[in-house]
Amino acid sequence: MVTITLPDESQRKYDGPVTGHEVAESIGPRLAKDALAVVVNGELKDTTYSIATDATLEIVTRKHPAALDLLRHDCAHVMAEAVQELYPETQVTFGPSTDVGFYYDFARDEPFSSTDLEKIETKMHEIIARDETFVCEIWDREKAKELFTAKGEKYKAEHVDNIPGDENLTIYRQGDWLDLCRGPHAPSTGRIGKGFKLMKVSGAYWRGDKDNDQLQRIYGTCWSDEKELKKYLQMLEEAEKRDHRRLGKELGLFHLQEEAAGSVFWHPKGWALYRSLEDYMRKRLEAGGYQEVKTPQLIDRSLWEASGHWEKFREGMFIASSEDDRTLAVKPMNCPGHVQIFKQGQTSYRDLPLRMAEFGACHRNEPSGALHGLMRVRAFTQDDAHIFCTEDQINSETVIFCDLLKTVYKDLGFEEIVVKFSDRPEKRAGTDEAWDKSEAALREAVEEAGLEYSPNPGEGAFYGPKLEFVLKDAIGRDWQCGTLQVDVILPERLDASYVGEDDKRHRPVMLHRAILGSFERFLAILIEQHAGKFPLWMSPQQVVVASITTDANDYAEEVRDKLKAAGLRVQADLRNEKINYKIREHSLSKTPVIAVVGRREAEEGKVALRRLGGKNQEIMSLEEALSSLTKEAKSPVDE
C-alpha cells in the first residue's frame, strides 16, 4: 500500500507503486491532461516517475511556480532537435533554462544568422505540433559514449566521464532525437505551446573556459502562453527606449570611452543629477545618526591580508607599487578602512551603536566583457556604511535601517520591495558556530522588522549572512540594490574591540549596509525608471526660461537670475528661434518646466509655465512662480 499526501493534506491510497500521472488521473481526467510534472517529497519529477513508498505530492500544471522553468527546459531540447534537423553537422553541448527563457550551446563551423534563427523557430513549431513524447532512459555509460562518439558528438561523449559514478546516466528522447539530461520534462513537446521566440546568437566557450573551444549560443525566451510572451516582448521594447546608455547620450549626462574602460565621464547635467542624489542621501544619513568619514584609496596589502580580502578578491584588485617596494591595492571596498577608524582611541559600550558612513570610491578589475554602461563599471562609489554595535543591538539597528531604506526607496519612486535572506556560502571565513550565531541573529532581526523574506541559499557574503533588497521598476524588472550583512568575523580578524559595562574588552558586531549600492548603477536604474523624465527636485536642469521675441530677452535673463538665486537649476534660451521650436527641443531634452516669456509677460511681470508632457500653460506672476517652483523643487528630505 502506498499513501500519497496532497497539498491540502488529503490522502489517497494505492495498492502498489503509482506514477504521478496515475495519481492525477485518479483525481480527475482534466488534471491528468493538464499535468506537466509532479513534485514528490519536494523534488520535481516526470509524471511517469514511479512512487513506491509513502510520499507527499504536488501536481504541476501551467499555473504552478515550477512550470515555467520546466517548459523552458523543454523548449531548449526542442530547439536543439530543430537545429540538428536543419543542420545535421552541428554538435550540441549544454542547454539549460534561464530566468526568462533558455539557451543551447552549439559547435558549428558556420556562424548562425538571423535567417537561420527564423528557420530554427519555424522548425520548433513543427516539432511541437508533432507532439513528440519525452521519454527518460537509463543508459550504460560505455554505450552512451559509443553512441555519441559514433554520431560525431565529441562534447557529449566527453561529458559522460564527468557524470558522478553513483548517479544514473539518463538520456531523454523525443521522437528520434535524444540528449544527455537529468530531466525532468513535460510529457510531450506539444505541452510547450506557442509562447516562445528565439532572440539572439552570441559566443560561448566549452564549459565556460576561454581556453576551450569556442561555441555558438542561441538564446530564446519562453512563457506560459502567447499573451505572456507578447507582454515580455513589449517590456523589452520599452526597456530599449529607456536604456540608460541611450538616454545618457541623448540628454548629455555622461559618456564612456575605451581609454578609461569601466569609468564614467560625467557631463555637467549628469553630475548635477549625481549631486542631487548624493545630497539627498547625505541628508538622510545625517538625520539617521550616521557620521561621515573618508578612507584612503591605496592601502597596503598587509591590511587586505589580515582582513581576508587578499585571498578572496586579489584577482579583482588593482595593484600598485611604491618606491619603498610596498605593494598597495586600490580599495575594492571600504570595510577594513572603517574598522581602522573604529580602532582609534578607546570605544565604550556607551558609544554604541556607532554608525559610520562613507561615499566610498571603489575600484574592481571587472572583465572587459562584463562592463555594461553604468550598470557594471570598474570605478564606482558606494553609499557604504558600517554599524558597530553589541549583539543586543542587532535587532533594533536592523529595524531602524529597514525603515530608512524603505523611506529612501519610496522617495525615489520605488514602492515594491522584495527581501531575500542569503545564508552561508560554500567559501567563507569563520567557524560554523559563528555563522550559526549570525544567521540566527539576522533572521530574528528581520522578523522583528516585520519584513517578509524568501530564502536565498548559499548566497551570503564572505563574512556573514545578509539581506538583499530587490526593487521592481516601472516596467516590471527586478533590481537587487540594498544589503544588510551581519559580521562577527572581520572585527575579530582586525582586532576591533570596545570596553563593556563589565570593564572588559568585547568584540563589536559589524553590520555592513548599503541602500543604493553603487551610485553609478543606481543612477542607471533611476534613468530607466523615469525614462529620463525626473521629478523636479532631481532633474539636472529644472527650468528653462525661453523668450518668445528678442525684446523679451532682458526680462528672460531677470527671471533666470531670480530662479537661480532661489536655488533652482535654470538656463535661459535667448536664441532667435520660434518659440514652438524651443518648446519642442526642451521637451525632447526632458526639461520639467519651460517658463515662456514675451513682451506681455515682461510688461506685466509674469511667466507662462509649461510642464513636461502637458499641453496647457499656467500664467502667473514671477513671485508666484518663484514660490511655487522653489517649494516643488525641494527634495523629499527637505519637505
Catalytically active residues, by annotation: 335, 364, 382, 384, 386, 466, 512
Task: Give dist(CA 621, CA 102) in Å, integer.
Answer: 60
Nearest to 549 by CA among 606, 597, 617: 597
Q: How far is the C-alpha of 45 from the C-alpha of 60, rounded, in Å?
A: 10
Q: What does the DSSP 8-state code read for residue 398?
A: H
CA distances (Å), origin 533, targets 272, 478, 537 = 15, 20, 11
The type of residue at 384 is: D
The CA-based angle 474-477-479, given to 5 degrees, is 105
Tally the residues of the chain.
639
Residue 490, helix vs strand vs coil: helix
What is the amino acid identity at position 535? P
What is the C-alpha separation between 266 and 247, in angstroms, rounded? 13
386 is in an annotated binding site: yes
11 φ/ψ sector (left φ>0, alpha ψ -120 to 50, else beta): beta
**How far, CA to CA in Å, does 583 sit from each of 104, 443, 587, 588, 626?**
50, 54, 6, 9, 20
The secondary structure element, H or E, covering residue 415 is none
457: left (phi over 0), alpha (psi -120 to 50) or beta: beta
Q: How open is the CA angle 415-416-418, to the nearest 5 degrees?
A: 145
Nearest 5°: phi and psi at 98? Answer: -130, -175
What is the C-alpha to C-alpha distance for residues 271 and 273, in angstroms, rounded to an integer?
A: 5
Cis amide leading into 508 (omega within 30):
no
Q: Which amino acid is at 561?
A: D
The stretches of 28-153 forming alpha helices (DSSP H) are 29-34, 67-86, 114-130, 141-150
Residue type, position 512, single letter: H
One-letter identity of residue 564: K
CA atoms within 13 A of residue 529's CA, in its CB half-sphere? 20
Grid coordinates given for 532: 529620463
Q: How many CA atoms lie within 13 A of 540 on its CB side?
A: 22
Q: Which three cell numbers stand for residue 268?
A: 555637467
Query: Between the CA atoms of 24, 30, 33 and 36, what dihedral angle is there, to the nearest 10 degrees?
Result: -60
> What letter would DSSP give residue 540?
S
Query: Is 512 marked as a binding-site residue?
Result: yes
With contact defined as beta carbons under 8 Å apart, do 510 and 487 qualify?
A: yes
87, three cell numbers: 543542420
Q: Which three cell numbers stand for residue 215?
A: 561555441
Annotated binding site: 335, 386, 512
